[in-house]
A and B are shown apart, each in its own frame.
Chain A
Amino acid sequence: MTNSVVEAPPAQVPDELTPGRSRWHGLRPFLPLVALVVAAIVPYSTVNLPGFFEGPLNSPGTLQLLAICLVFGGLAAGYDLLFGRTGMLSFGHALYFAAGVYGTDVLVTRAGLPLWQAALLAVTGGTILAALLGAVALRTVGIAFAMVTLAFAQVGAIVVARDFKLGSGEGLTGGEEGLPLDVSGLPAALVGVTNTVNLYWLALAYLTLVVFVVHRVSGSPTGRVLAGLRDDERRIGVLGLDPYRFKLVAFTLAGGLATAGGVVYCLIVGGASPHVTSSELTLSLLVMVVLGGPGTRWGPVLGGILYMYLDHRLTAFGSSDAVDNLPAFLSHPLSQPLFVLGTVFVLAVYFFPGGLTSLRSRLTPLLTALRRR
């Protein structure tokens, strides 16, 4: 009974482990590459997508939004390594993301390190933190594991909120007000609105890295073991593999990827705020993964991008004239971004149980039926 909450997420056979059989089989390996190239040249386009973005694609506002979306796409893909592919429900993933955000920020702003050193230290530190805490938390399973990771993350949140003092009386983390990033030591290419495009490319690089790593790992022998762990941990043990070790590897790897995401996010937003330590962030990662389709290659990425897009754009939607002109009983709720987001999410879970990526398999019979006519 204890375990059932974390029973393997809606079974998805990892793409990597099943042979492709579509007509596009020959082309498919190149599709991600095409997508990457398209994403990389977006900033050269002045196309205006009214309603979707406030300005042309290459305007700093749009690029900033896209950069945030891409980071969260990567973050969700990393989280899926835990949740969708190994069946571990962690409620504390925000901690490692926050370690990246605050680690970079504190090291740059308070310790005055150059960015590359700060980033390297932060990622190393975050990975080690994940390894240590994972080593402890993985002594439990199921919902207990979820709660222990939540507890660790909560301690992280409390530490950030407490704003421990340095000798000089300056708080380390800035408490609830957060800590703006001191950009004076940063490469000029990462500072200023006109350079938002570089942040965008950075985010794209991060996303590519995560997708590549996750894809590679889940197609590897280790990934096969992780998929087995999702179904039956006891069996893995009897086959002669130590479940604990493999789970720890997945946990550490996911933690490290999240920390790297934190570093990038810190640069994009230009600071850290306690928002990133909250358990809501982990929950929203879960939401992203499920929205997209757990255990699939592109589902979590799409879920993450879509979620963040909605999260940001709905604030504009809520205050738009279209909404304001509605009768009060509609316009009031609709002007609450969280209301719309929550509703969209409920509907998504309800109508696309396998996530966005299941749309394809759901639509295929329909399309073939149409084609036959």
Chain B
Amino acid sequence: GSPQDTASGGGDGAAPVKVGLVYSQSGPLASYGKQYIEGFKAGLDYATKGTGKVGDRKIELTEADDAGDPAKAVSAAKDLIGKGSKIIAGSTASGVALQVAPIAAQNKVLFISGPAATDAVTGANKYTFRSGRQSYQDVVTAKSFIGDATGKKVVVFAQDGAFGDANEAAVKKVIGGAGATVSSVRAPASATDFTPFASQIKAAKPDLLFVAWAGTTAPAMWQTLDQQGVLASTTVVTGLDIRASWPTFGAAGSKISFLSHYFDGASDTEAAKAAKAKIPGGTLDLFHPDGFAAAQMVVRAVSEGGDDVDKMVKALEGWQFDSIKGPMTIRAEDHALLQPMYQAKLSGSGTTFTAAAQKSLTGDETAPPVTQMKG
């Protein structure tokens, strides 16, 4: 054989459509990955009406574990593309999504990023789409908690690094742009004790505190903010993480205003009902919608585009569809996924907590600004 052979996609009308799913089955984000794949399978079932087929072509899923490591994800993506997949979906971690996106562009295959929240995926290139929300949408939702922002004092508390940077920048733009003064307190993601940061926040006396923190140290962080009286003295907004993490908020949980991408009961759409019926356990969680939407997008791409990736891209751009969260729009300019977002409150104690939606924001209300498509 020649060293530059790759398997061809097969133009045959009834040949199965190969779809590669590269996401975290192991590693620190394994539980996000699990929700994603459950959502994806439910979504596929929903979009193909239980047949698993588009027309008479079967959707053939190949799953690969990236363990949160971009290098592994790239290897897996190349492998899948080499074997004829025209569609790659997945990417639980932002770092993975950002490195797989160029691979998709170089090889002209469709890439639908998953739970990865980084804004940089939006507009990354022509072949890259997203099935989840992005940081900017979180921040816009947070803004809805303070009403009129003019003259208000807002503090962002975020971890060092790109995730924190993106959130800080978004807050400056969204809430600062609306007339608030925004300052920030940053901490290393590896911080063990949060007292110094809590003291800094307290000294700043903000009207609104926006917290962007991911990782296992979050509970300790919340406890310290609570103990140092930050939660009692101001409105604190943060994103609501997966269900399993709720009990770790402890007493702090009820004092926080949550913005939410999704939680069970946030919506009551057809798709949500179908998904609930399909996924193991019957309780929806944060990243089920991402997988679900990704499957819907895959089915759309295949049914409109066949094996032609450029047609698939055309078919997705500007497409509006109903998913778990409600009506969604793929913005044609930069492939941002406009979708509803939620305000939520947490109540309960011990190990049983429940979230209740306070308000939901439409996709237009939370739309990020249009970015320039890079490639």
* Direct A–B contact present (CB less than 8 angstroms): yes
State which of A8-16, A30-38, A314-322 sits at the interface with chain B: A314-322
B331 within 8 A of A: no
Asked if A315 contacts B1 (CB within 8 A), the reply is no
| Interface of chain B residues 97 through 140 with chain A (CB within 8 A) | 98-99, 101-103, 106-107, 118, 120
A196 touching B82, Cβ below 8 Å: yes
Contacts A44-B1, A175-B161, A316-B64 given; indicate if A61 touches B78 (C-beta within 8 A): yes
Residues of A within 8 A of B69 (CB): 273, 275
A153 within 8 A of B: no
Q: Give CA–CA (A180, B70) in the complex, Å.
A: 10
A197 to B2, CA, bound (A): 10
Chain A residues in 8 Å Cβ range of B5 = 46, 58-59
Decide if A142 is an interface residue (CB 8 Å cutoff).
Answer: no
Chain A contact patch, size range? 35 or more
Stretch at the interface among A187-195, A207-215, A297-305, A354-362: A187-195
Interface 1/0 per residue, B58-96 and A, CB below 8 Å: 000001111101111011101111110000000000110
A285 within 8 A of B: no
**Contacting pair A55 B82 (CB below 8 A):** yes
Other-chain residue from A62, A182, A271, A319 in contact with B70 (beta carbon distance below 8 A): A271
B contacts with A: majority SS: helix
**Residue of A55, A61, A171 ringed by the most chain B CB atoms within 10 A:** A61
Q: Check B79–A59 contact: CB distance below 8 A.
A: yes
Residues 41-73 of chain A, each 1 if its beta carbon lies under 8 Å from chain B, else 0: 001111000000011101111111100100000
Distance in angstroms between the alpha carbons of A161 and B95 in the assembled complex: 12
Known: A178-B70, A269-B74, A273-B95. A315 touches B26 (CB 8 A): yes
Q: Which residue of A lies closest to B74 (CB)?
A: A269
Q: In the complex the two chains form, is B25's CB within 8 Å of A315's CB?
A: yes
Min distance, Cβ B109 to any Cβ of chain A, angstroms: 9
- Per the 8 Å Cβ criterion, residues 133-178 of B in contact with A are 160-165, 169
Is the pair A312, B72 in contact by a Cβ cutoff of 8 Å? Answer: yes
Residue B229 is within 8 A (CB to CB) of chain A in the complex: no
From A158, A197, A270, A318, B103 is in contact (CB under 8 Å) with A270
- A100 interface contact, C-beta 8 A: no
| Distance (whole angstroms) from the CB of A322 to the closest CB of chain B | 15
Residues of B near A269 (CB, < 8 A) are: 70-71, 74, 99
B64 A315 Cβ-Cβ under 8 A:
yes
Enumerate A166-185 residues with CB–CB distance to B below 8 Å.
Answer: 169, 171, 174-184
Q: Is the CB of B163 within 8 A of A275?
A: no
In the complex, B4 has a CB within 8 A of chain A: yes
User: Are B64 and A191 within 8 A (Cβ)?
Assistant: no
Distance (whole angstroms) from the CB of B218 to the closest CB of chain A: 15
**CA of A269 to CA of B106 in the docked complex: distance in angstroms?**
13
Q: Which of B3, B98, B189 contacts A44 (CB 8 A)?
A: B3
A193 contacts B106, C-beta separation under 8 Å: yes
In the assembly, what is the distance between CA of A174 and CA of B101, in Å? 15
Q: Distance in Å from the Cβ of B369 to the closest Cβ of chain A? A: 15
Instruction: Please give, as numbers and ranges, the residues of chain A lying within 8 Å of B95 by CB-CB distance.
Output: 174, 176-178, 273-274
Q: How far is the CA of A269 from the CA of B75 in the complex (A)?
A: 7
Contact A183 B79 (CB under 8 A): no
Contact B76 A61 (CB under 8 A): yes
**Interface residues, chain B, with chain A CB atoms under 8 Å away:** 1-7, 25-26, 63-67, 69-72, 74-76, 78-83, 94-95, 98-99, 101-103, 106-107, 118, 120, 160-165, 169, 188-189, 375
Mind listing 14 A-B residue pairs with CB under 8 Å?
Answer: A46-B1, A46-B5, A54-B83, A55-B83, A59-B79, A59-B83, A60-B6, A61-B82, A65-B79, A158-B188, A174-B98, A176-B95, A177-B161, A193-B81
Closest 6 CB pairs of A and B: A61-B79, A60-B82, A175-B162, A43-B3, A175-B161, A46-B1
